[in-house]
Structure 1
Amino acid sequence: MRKIIVIGSSNTDMVVRVPKLPLPGETVLGGDFLMNLGGKGANQAVTTARLACPTVFISKVGEDVFGRMALEQFDKEGIQTDFVFTDSQHPSGVALINVDRRGENCISVASGANASLLPADIDKAAAVFGSDDIILMQLEIPLQTIEYVVNKFHKTGATIMLNPAPATQINIETLRNITIITPNETEVETITGVCVQTEEGLREAASTLKETGIKNVVITRGAKGAYVLSDEFEGIVPAQKVKAVDTTAAGDCFNGALAVALLEQKTLKSAVEFANKAAALAVQKMGAQSSIPYRRELDI
């Protein structure tokens, strides 16, 4: 059976709603507090599972209450957790999040056990990888692990999808073996050095990435939709217009939904439309995993 293998982080998010995001040295009195399971990898795995796709999650948590809570939730979601490893030396990852009245956020992350997810852990899970699978990764785990996965599994024919968040420079040898990359506007500027405030800039940045050997480039733009460059389609796919309450997991939801649509062999343009719809539903709720929609909500 074809499946999605998500390799990435698991965090516990501590969220405070504030009237505005604080400036350096400023204290802003907030309102509601929410503790929610998160982490880019975990959010994406929950998305693919809720959208009715077989999902394997490869991650690492601490031997603490946050790690136990995460494992219990993954089991409830129907995610295969055989390769969510426990680290006795480091705590589970934690993210501190402020969300303002427009739904914009700022996030600080203590990586904890996520930083010890290493190539040796990938080898322990090697038997689960299939040539028809989609491998979905982000950058909240060590870059050496990302590079190891790409170099090890691109030869098998598996689809390798990288959400390069948070933004960092990536080795060009790694980039050329990626099937699809999904940076946001900030991330694509960091990777390519190209300003993307215009459609010409978007095209130049996407072309720069495609020239490395990446087959498909999707630049996510929040409420402005996504810019797509591939052999089958080029252009902007507009987002649905909704009132955002919290954008914390919108990008993760988009990526998980995009992977599901591609596994179901939708065209890239149709897959981006599906992902936009999922992300639009997510931003209308507070929290990370608590905001991620179920398949029945998208099929309405």
Structure 2
Amino acid sequence: MTAGGAPITVIGSANLDYIVRVPTAPGPGETVLAGAMRKSPGGKGANQAVAAARLGGTVRFVGCVGDDDDGALLLRELRAEGVDSAEVEVITGEHTGLAIVAVEDSGENSIVVVPGANFALTATRVTRVVRRRAGGGLVVLQGEVQPRIIAAAATAARESGSRFVLNLAPFVELDSDVLATCDPLVVNESEAAAITGRPVGSVGSAHEAARQLLERARSVVITLGARGAVWADADGAGVVPAPAVDRVVDTTGAGDAFVGALAVRLAQGAGLRSAVELGVRAGTYAVARDGAQSSYAMSGELVDVAAGA
């Protein structure tokens, strides 16, 4: 084990985000004028890899990009952040994944993702990488890859003795054996509702949903935005409140900041509550800044967040 803990293998999407600032997101048939547009590295997989690396994790990223300028930019950024990108495949003739992100003045966002090269990732390659390189560490996935990729990674993680962390965002249907491997399953309120079939809109209902999901997964985390996060495992359950922020600037990628931080703390051998505490602080830090990866904290920058600054 290195100083940063057990190795973290993040498997998932890498997108270039096209971010536009709007007063409010357009409704059906409506046109709105954006105040600005900028491009920024994104994708849930790459975001979580960068978030973990910035907090000292030993991180490798497994995914695909196209043979275009966007793909080259994403690879440069991953390497600059200290993420091992040797397992990122460049797909000839395919465009790099992209996301159109509309950020409202309130900080809330609406996102449309075009997967592109992300869907060229194969179960065979994921299985090979996990078996060869992830033994004893963490394997982290999200819902922005095809369900068969998630299933293959879960199987390979079990067989290699790796801890499987799944952020099921966006929600996709998965077999029960995949959910049973999750340690933890990380979802937000809407994703928890999609799995349980019951609305989740409060801390109390999140606790109830976590108890239900604990019957299907090894451990569970439900993120609640400004209210923090609820967790549950075999040793107990609880809620970690989020520190207050003066102003929410941009919620894009805040959930990925949470998952990356959680993975780092778990890789260091901490319990789930401690991991959720760091995740909440990382997510809180991110929402007060623009962008996804550009908003993520370095280790020392979370001290003030912990104090409620």
Q: TM-score range by the shorter chain?
A: over 0.9
Match of 2:51 among 47, 50, 53: 47
Matched residue, 1:231: 234
Matched residue, 1:162: 166
**Structure 1 runs (4+) greater than 6 angstroms displaced:** none
RMSD: 1.4
Q: Indicate the SS of the match to 1:183.
A: strand
Q: Which runs of 5+ in 1 are unaligned?
A: none
**Does residue 115 in structure 1 map to residue 119 in structure 2?**
yes
Q: Which amino acid aligns with 2:108?
A: E
Output one character per residue of 1:146-203: Cα deviation in whole Å (capped at 9) or x when no partner.
1011012213321100000011222112111222111000111111212112444223
Matched residue, 1:106: 110
Residues 229, 74 of structure 1: alpha-carbon distance in 2 compared, 3 angstrom cutoff:
same
Normalising by structure 1, report the TM-score.
0.96
Q: Indicate the SS of the match to 2:214.
A: helix
Cα shift at 1:124: 4.4
Which stretch of structure 1 is more off in the superposition, 61-70 or 170-179? 170-179
Cα shift at 1:126: 4.1
Counterparts of 2:43 and 2:186, CA distance in 1? 17
Identity of aligned residues (%): 39
Matched residue, 2:254: 250
Residues 198, 293 of structure 1: alpha-carbon distance in 2 compared, 3 angstrom cutoff:
closer
Q: Indicate the SS of the match to 2:198.
A: coil
Contact in 2 for aligned 1:10/1:61 (Cα 8 Å): yes
Equivalent residues, number: 299
Cα shift at 1:266: 2.1
Q: Which amino acid aligns with 2:104?
A: D
Matched residue, 1:152: 156
Cα shift at 1:299: 4.1
Output one character per residue of 1:269-288: Cα deviation in whole Å (capped at 9) or x when no partner.
12111111111111111111
**Does residue 18 in structure 1 map to residue 34 in structure 2?**
no
Output one character per residue of 1:229-262: Cα deviation in whole Å (capped at 9) or x when no partner.
1122312210111121000010000000000011
Contact in 2 for aligned 1:56/1:79 (Cα 8 Å): yes
Contact in 2 for aligned 1:61/1:87 (Cα 8 Å): yes
- What pairs with 1:280-295 in structure 2 (closer than 5 Å)? 280-295=284-299
Counterparts of 2:234 and 2:176, CA distance in 1? 20
Q: Which amino acid aligns with 2:44?
A: K
Q: Which runs of 5+ in 2 are unaligned?
A: 305-309
Normalising by structure 2, report the TM-score.
0.93
Q: Indicate the SS of the match to 1:191.
A: helix
